[in-house]
């Protein structure tokens, strides 16, 4: 199923679990302390093409 979707994704592949986990870990870290009220799209650039 995921491999069939890959050609339609701007980066040409489906994101991995570790890529999604990395942003969650970053947002929970002290390095993200100044980030508030924003949306972070994890869609391989799909929303940019809308």
DSSP state string for 20-32: HHHHHHHHTSGGG
Token reading at 40: 């972070």
Neighbour-count burial of 9, counting CB atoms closer than 10 A to its CB (0-12 exposed, 13-18 middle, 19+ buried): middle
pLDDT tens column, 21-42: 999 999 999 999 999 988 888 8
- Contact partners, residue 6, CB within 8 Å, separation at least 6: 12, 13, 14
Specify the pLDDT at position 10: 83
C-alpha–C-alpha distance, residues 2 and 27, integer Å: 26
């Amino acid at each position: 199923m995921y491999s069939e979707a890959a050609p339609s994704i701007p980066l040409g592949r489906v994101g991995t679990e570790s890529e999604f986990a990395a942003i969650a870990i970053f947002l929970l870290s002290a390095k993200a302390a100044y980030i508030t009220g924003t949306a972070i799209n994890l869609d391989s650039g799909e929303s940019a093409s809308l």
